[in-house]
Structure 1
Amino acid sequence: MQSEYLQGIKKPNLGQTEHRLDRTGLALEYFPAFEQNQHDFHGHDFIEILFVLQGSFRHVTAESSFDESMGGLTIVNDRQYHSLRTPDGPVELMNIYLKPALYPLPVLPEPLASRLYELIPLHPELGNRFNSIRHLKVGDTDKIKSLLMMILEEQNREVAGQEAAIQALFRLFLIELCRAAPVREDLPASGYSGRIEKVCTYLEKNFTSSIRLDDLCLLSGLNPANLCRRFKEFTGMSTGEYLKQRRLAAAVQRLRMSNDKILTISHDCGFSDISRFNRFFREAFDCTPSAYRETVRDLGRKSSDENASFEVQ
């Protein structure tokens, strides 16, 4: 990656879009004819979702390149460096910018709720190699375009019920996002990839249980040193880090969606004791689980109050 092409952390192109994102945590930008012939590697301090309405472009990251075409939907999570090129000419593109800390994601029914949190980490500390950039393909491009255009129209005019309309439309968009088919990406080939994928699948299904390294060695057929080395090469983290992150992600989801006691959430998400859970949570999010829950609820109340104030004007 050449330094002259590395642009650092970029903000939305339009000042009014940036202002809205900083104020509400959600903003859209529409590009009727986006064109870029030179790499512009950059990251964001927010989540970026790119939806291709017409045309195609090449999406380049530090590890790979991917050709996106009409109906392609890419989720680029916090501070992931990437670049776009349009070798085949202009592309019609819609960008969605999201700050989950400011814009609480809506509650969706299962299995969509679990899928949503898998696609969009609620905090940068929950990001990893598997969710840093996700490629999806939607079946009905016109339907998604219609939803996004309606959100954009609401965003660009201040009228009674504006935020309520945006929330309702964005919830529909997220449902379609969760329904979209994932595009399988080829990870670096290795004779050990199949074994490590098997370990990852096991951890995903059993993260709430007590898991020993010996169990994973037996499952993979690898000795402890080899398993740990290969697992970190494949995932970018140790087995312990991977398991802790998965448990924290489940706990964050429960804190946002339920009124369950902190002790219950800690136990149900696989933590051996409440003090361990509190310590890990504070290290990751710089606050306690109860403070995090209260912050999310305050944001929800603030959003409701803003909607109500629009209605009575």
Structure 2
Amino acid sequence: MSAYQETKVHGTHDFPFAVYRGLVPEWLSDFPLHWHEEMEIIYVEKGSVSISIRNTEYLVRGGEFVLIHPQTIHSIRQHEDDRGFYHNILFRFSMLESGADDLCRKKYLEPIYNRQLLMPEYIDISHPLNEKLTPLIRILWSHQRDRQFRDEMLIKAKLFEVLYHILEYCEEADKERAYEDIVFDKLKLSLNYLEENFAENITADTMAAVSNYSVSHFSKLFKQMTGESLTQYLKNYRLEIAANRLRHEPTKVSEIALSCGFSNLSYFSRAFYQKFHMTPSEYRKTPEL
């Protein structure tokens, strides 16, 4: 799916912590722009993947990882012909808070959540945080996968330890970054509009009006943020929605194409093959790993 606010529940209401695995390109060729309330750590175990955070793209190799602020737009995609196996760790700061007057919440968690304190995003092999956090990250994903009695306490303890080390390398946000936040918040409005109306005839004029920019300025910012023109982005978004429906709905291919904004079935089939390297019917028959 493309740039949108992710509504999937990660973990449970009383323990909002989750771990996932991804394999590029076998399991997915990309996970387009999205954001969520959770902080996220994406650790590449083998190979390499391209990860974009806001308008910065990182080539993350095996043994490296990225740190992503809550509510921050990001995406994952295949780098050239490389394969990449990675782990996602997501958690809400609420699971680490003990109440409104909690000192750690006010002094550390809120400034990170509000981007007043900025975490380093890309942690390569040589970064001091790599050696400190990698053992903790491995503990987190192993205990979540095979969770036993009392492991929730260990997970919370390790998350505090992760943030403790990260805070050593945080920087205060400057005025330029504060302005960037305003720009990205406006663009999120247009992306929400696209998500809700993707099957309709969406134009740059409409999207610009939603974000309160001129068409030319919006188009420039949109390309800067997504790396694609609105036309390219919308097509890829529709194809991702269609692929998801092919996996999980028995609806006819032609009906799925139409419901995703493709009025011409031949064009849909060509575009789908170009993106996924198989026809819609072949994709539907391929088991989900």
Q: TM-score, normalised by structure 1?
A: 0.43
